[in-house]
Structure 1
Amino acid sequence: MRERGLKARCSRVYIKMAKLHRFYQSIKNIRKDMPKPTAVNEQWAGDLTYIRQGNRWLYLAVVIDLYSRKVIGWSMNHRKTTAVTMASLHMAFRNRKPQAGLVFHTDRGAEYRAHEVQSLLSKYGVTPSMNRPGHCTDNAEMESFFHTLKGELIKSNHFTSEWDLRDKVAGYVQHFYNRFRLHSSLKYLSPVEYEGRAKEA
């Protein structure tokens, strides 16, 4: 390399990546100091869980609108990678088309701290918010959703294949949960009904 006048630049790449890592680690929980959302697309939340199918695990990423608890994006993958969180976010952006100013809250998992995810949020003018270290209850709405999903669907069903699991999750989320699942926090309305009432007001 020296004979050809070439120089390695690994150190600069390392420094740049280290700075990015520190930046993503420094993302704070700004949502905890915010009032509850008063309309759709003010605050979203996302998280990952795992579901067993046969002898393997599948990973489910979900995005909900905290105003109505409506599931607006979801994705499932064999691997717990950035791809599954990105896919759930792409679905949410397609479904909602939010304006800049939205806050998206998650835990501090690598799948949400990833550069690709943060770049996507920046592209849409979304401000990231993350749990405080060691405070899993900072994302209580997502924990509650997964608890409900597993109690009402996963534990009471046998999934014969991956496609059977995907089909049942899709039916639960898009049909039952969003349209018919009542929430005490929503005045005993479903997410779709709650958003509909807000539009009529």
Structure 2
Amino acid sequence: MVNVTENLLWRDFKAKAPNEKWTTDITYVWVNDQWLYLAAVMDLYSRRIVAWASGASMTEELVRTALNAALAIRRTSPWLTLHSDRGVQYRAQKYIDYAVSRGIKLSMSRKGNCWENAPMGSFFSRLKVELIYAKNYQTMEEARSGIFGYIEVLYNRRRRHSANDNLSLVQKGDPPALLGRQAKFDSSRSLIVTPKCEPPSTTQGSN
């Protein structure tokens, strides 16, 4: 397997400061008769979703758009580590070159090991249980709007996290100037399949 990097986290999901450790992943949401793909970037210091991008195809450009949005929002440290799984998007040379050129140290889970990116899996699971499965969105714009509200209004501001001693991100002291924002991305390109712990169902998305 080409362009696989070492696992630098080894399930150590605690960070001493913002922008020390980020993690990223892709999930998919079934909207009426098609998939909406969501790439997100999380800061492990507080579990804040720094930025995300959504689109109709699961491409390298989608994950790079999410990372670019995060870098536009945050002043990253020279010791920032960005962790992901081994999906083809994260192993794409263009994505790797983009991240490395910005001083990011890349880290990847072992093959087929979901637990090594557990915080992102937990976030996507909550998103689907608390929002997606209950809403049955009929259009992409409805889904994007709902996801925006969930992340910005609930998750990033009100949600209490066990990793933060049951404090919200505001109570944790995550700098308010570093709030996440949405990076919209639409693509008509064909689907690129990335290895996941479970295959997507025909009616609903899964991590």
TM-score category (smaller protein): 0.7 to 0.9
Counterpart for residue 186 of structure 2 = none
Q: Give CA-to-partner distance per residue, 1:72-114, whole Å, 9 cap, x none.
A: 0100010010111011101110111202210000000011111
Q: How many residues align?
A: 175
TM-score (ref. length: structure 2): 0.80
Shift of 1:192: 3.2
Shift of 1:134: 2.6
Moved more, 59-68 or 28-37: 28-37
The structure with the larger Rg is 1
Q: Secondary structure at the match of 1:104?
A: strand
Amino acid at match of 1:56: Q
Higher relative contact order, structure no. (Cα contacts within 8 Å, ≥ 6 residues apart): 2
Which of the residues 86, 105, 111 maps onto 2:89?
Answer: 111
Q: Secondary structure at the match of 2:167?
A: coil
CA contact 1:179–1:193 (8 Å) conserved in 2: no
Counting only pairs closer than 5 Å after superposition, residues 44-55 of structure 1 correspond to structure 2 as 44-55=22-33
CA contact 1:77–1:84 (8 Å) conserved in 2: yes
Runs of 4+ residues over 4 Å off in structure 1: none
Q: How has the CA–CA distance of structure 1 residues 155 and 135 changed in structure 2, closer, same or farther, with 3 Å as cutoff?
A: same
Inter-partner Cα distance in structure 1 for 2:52 and 2:6: 24
Moved more, 70-79 or 95-104: 95-104
Shift of 1:183: 1.0
Counterpart for residue 148 of structure 1 = 126
Q: How has the CA–CA distance of structure 1 residues 180 and 35 changed in structure 2, closer, same or farther, with 3 Å as cutoff?
A: closer
CA contact 1:99–1:124 (8 Å) conserved in 2: no
Inter-partner Cα distance in structure 2 for 1:96 and 1:58: 26
Which of the residues 35, 42, 45 maps onto 1:64?
Answer: 42
Q: Secondary structure at the match of 1:32?
A: coil
Instruction: Give unmatched runs, 5+ long, in structure 1.
Output: 1-20
Inter-partner Cα distance in structure 1 for 2:35 and 2:13: 37
Q: How has the CA–CA distance of structure 1 residues 117 and 107 changed in structure 2, closer, same or farther, with 3 Å as cutoff?
A: same
Which of the residues 75, 78, 86 maps onto 2:56?
Answer: 78
Counterpart for residue 5 of structure 1 = none
Q: How has the CA–CA distance of structure 1 residues 104 and 56 changed in structure 2, closer, same or farther, with 3 Å as cutoff?
A: same
Counterpart for residue 17 of structure 1 = none
Which of the residues 182, 187, 199 maps onto 2:165?
Answer: 187
Q: Secondary structure at the match of 1:99?
A: coil
Instruction: Give unmatched runs, 5+ long, in structure 2.
Output: 176-207
Q: Give CA-to-partner distance per residue, 1:102-140, whole Å, 9 cap, x none.
A: 000000001111111111111110000000123111001
Which of the residues 85, 89, 92 maps onto 2:70?
Answer: 92
Inter-partner Cα distance in structure 2 for 1:134 and 1:164: 32
Counterpart for residue 131 of structure 1 = 109
Q: Secondary structure at the match of 2:65?
A: helix
Alignment of 1:42 with 2:9, yes or no, is no
TM-score (ref. length: structure 1): 0.82
Amino acid at match of 2:101: K
Q: Which has the higher helix share?
A: 1
Shift of 1:34: 5.5
